[in-house]
C-alpha cells in the first residue's frame, strides 16, 4: 500500500502497547504514514476499566516504536470528551505535518458494568461520553482539516471502532453495547455526509481481541461466574470458529486496508473482525 506513504493519521486510544490503537499505529507506520497517537494519559476513575487507559510513559514508548519504522510520530495527551482538547490535537497535527488524511477513533472504555437494574446513571453517561461523544467530537474537530487535505491531495479516511457487543450484547454490559451500537449509526450517517468531499467512513466491530482490556473483561467474568480464568478463556475461544482469540494486528490489518486507495468504494459499513464469533450461539452468563 505504497500510496499511503507520507499521509498523516490521528489514532486515539493508542497508549497501550498491547492495544488495537498501538498496533494500528505501527501497521500504518510500516506503510509510510506519519502518525499522531493520542490517549488520556491520566489515572481513570476507580469505576473505569483501567486497562483501557494509557499513561504518558507508555504512550511515549508507543511513539518510539512507531518512529523506529522510519516515520515521524507525535504523542499527545487528549481527552476525547473535551472539544477544546480534541481541537488542540488537530491543530498540533496540522502545525506539525500540514495535513490530515486519516482519523482512527479507537478510544473506548466501560464504566461500572452491572445489570441495568443496578447500573449507576453516572457510569452509563461516562461510557457514552467516551465511546460516542468522543467519536463525534473527534470527527467534528478533524473534518475541516480532512476536507482541506482531501481537496489538495485527494481522499480521506475515517475508521471508528465499534464492537461485536453492538450486535451481540452481553448481560451486565448494556452501556458498552448500546454505546458501540450508536457508533455504527453515527458512522453510517457521517459516511453519507462526507462522501461529497472524497472522505469515507467505516466502523469496525472487533470481537474477542487479546488486549489488556479483553483480559480485564475475562477476569471480571471469571469473578462474576465463579469460574477459573482459564475455563472462562477456553469457553470464549470455543465460541470462535477459527479457534483462537484475535490479535490487535488482526484489526490493524483491516484498518490499513480501509484507509488505502483500494477501499475507495467502501463506506458506511460495519465490518466484523471476530474470527466468525457472531456465527456461534452466545453463552449466557449466570
Q: Convert the pLDDT of each residue in 176-191 to its tens digit.
A: 999 999 999 999 999 9
DSSP string, 168-229: S--TT-HHHHHHHHHHHHHHHHHHHHHGGGTEEEEEEEE-SB-SHHHHHHHHHHHHHHT--H
DSSP classification of residue 278: G
Selected catalytic residue, list 111, 136, 176, 213:
176
Confidence of residue 286 (pLDDT cuts 50, 70, 90): very low
- pLDDT tens column, 103-148: 999 999 999 999 999 999 999 999 999 999 999 999 999 999 999 9
**How close are the terminal C-alpha atoms of the chain, in Å?**
46
DSSP H or E run through 102: strand 102-105
Model pTM score: 0.93
- pLDDT tens column, 238-283: 999 999 999 999 999 999 999 999 999 999 999 999 999 999 875 4
Helix residue ranges, H only, 31-156: 56-67, 83-97, 121-128, 134-153
- pLDDT tens column, 14-73: 999 999 999 999 999 999 999 999 999 976 555 555 455 678 999 999 999 999 999 999
Q: What is the pLDDT of residue 194?
A: 98
Domain ranges of the chain: 2-209+247-274
Q: How many CA atoms lie within 13 A of 263 on its CB side?
A: 23
Q: What is the pLDDT of residue 52?
A: 53
- pLDDT tens column, 61-101: 999 999 999 999 999 999 999 999 999 999 999 999 999 99
Confidence of residue 219 (pLDDT cuts 50, 70, 90): confident
Confidence of residue 218 (pLDDT cuts 50, 70, 90): confident
Please give the average per-residue pLDDT across 157-166, as a whole number.
98
Q: What is the pLDDT of residue 45?
A: 53
| Residue among 54, 55, 59, 58 nearest 109 (CA) | 54
Q: How far is CA 187 from each of CA 70, 181, 190, 284, rounded to the nearest angstrom?
A: 32, 10, 5, 29
d(CA 169, CA 92): 37
Q: Answer yes or no: CATH 3.30.70.1150 is held by domain 2-209+247-274.
A: no
Given a cut of 70, whether residue 198 has pLDDT beyond it is: yes
The verdict on whether 176 is a catalytic residue reads yes
Confidence of residue 284 (pLDDT cuts 50, 70, 90): very low
Q: How far is CA 133 from each of CA 3, 26, 33, 108, 188, rounded to the nearest angstrom?
A: 32, 26, 27, 11, 15
Q: What is the pLDDT of residue 47?
A: 52
Looking at mean pLDDT, say which of 160-174, 210-224, 270-284 comes out highest.
160-174
* Helix-helix angle 83-97:134-153, to 10 degrees: 20
Amino acid at each position: 500500500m505504497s500510496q499511503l506513504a507520507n499521509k498523516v493519521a490521528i489514532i486515539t486510544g493508542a497508549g497501550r502497547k498491547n492495544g488495537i490503537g498501538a498496533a494500528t499505529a505501527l501497521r500504518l507506520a510500516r506503510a509510510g504514514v506519519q502518525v499522531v497517537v493520542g490517549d488520556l494519559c491520566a489515572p481513570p476513575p476507580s469505576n473505569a476499566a483501567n486497562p483501557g487507559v494509557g499513561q504518558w510513559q507508555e504512550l511515549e514508548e508507543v511513539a518510539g516504536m512507531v518512529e523506529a519504522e522510519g516515520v515521524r510520530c507525535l504523542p499527545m495527551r487528549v481527552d476525547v470528551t473535551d472539544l477544546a482538547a480534541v481541537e488542540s490535537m488537530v491543530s498540533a497535527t496540522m502545525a506539525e505535518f500540514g495535513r490530515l488524511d486519516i482519523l482512527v477513533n479507537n478510544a473506548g472504555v466501560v464504566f461500572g458494568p452491572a445489570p441495568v437494574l443496578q447500573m449507576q446513571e453516572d457510569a452509563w453517561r461516562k461510557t457514552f461520553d467516551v465511546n460516542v461523544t468522543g467519536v463525534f467530537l473527534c470527527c467534528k474537530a478533524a473534518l475541516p482539516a480532512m476536507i482541506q487535505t482531501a481537496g489538495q491531495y485527494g481522499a480521506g479516511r475515517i475508521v471508528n471502532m465499534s464492537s461485536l457487543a453492538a450486535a451481540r450484547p452481553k448481560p451486565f454490559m448494556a452501556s458498552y453495547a448500546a454505546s458501540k451500537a450508536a457508533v455504527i449509526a453515527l458512522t453510517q450517517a457521517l459516511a453519507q455526509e462526507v462522501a461529497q468531499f472524497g472522505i469515507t467512513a467505516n466502523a469496525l466491530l472487533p470481537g474477542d481481541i487479546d488486549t489488556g482490556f479483553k483480559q480485564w473483561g475475562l477476569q471480571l467474568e471469571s469473578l462474576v461466574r465463579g469460574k477459573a480464568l482459564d475455563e472462562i478463556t477456553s469457553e470464549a475461544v470455543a465460541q470462535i470458529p477459527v479457534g483462537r482469540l484475535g490479535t490487535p494486528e488482526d484489526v490493524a490489518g483491516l484498518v490499513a486496508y480501509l484507509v488505502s486507495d483500494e477501499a475507495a468504494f467502501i463506506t458506511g459499513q460495519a465490518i466484523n473482525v471476530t474470527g466468525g464469533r457472531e456465527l456461534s450461539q452466545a453463552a449466557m452468563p449466570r
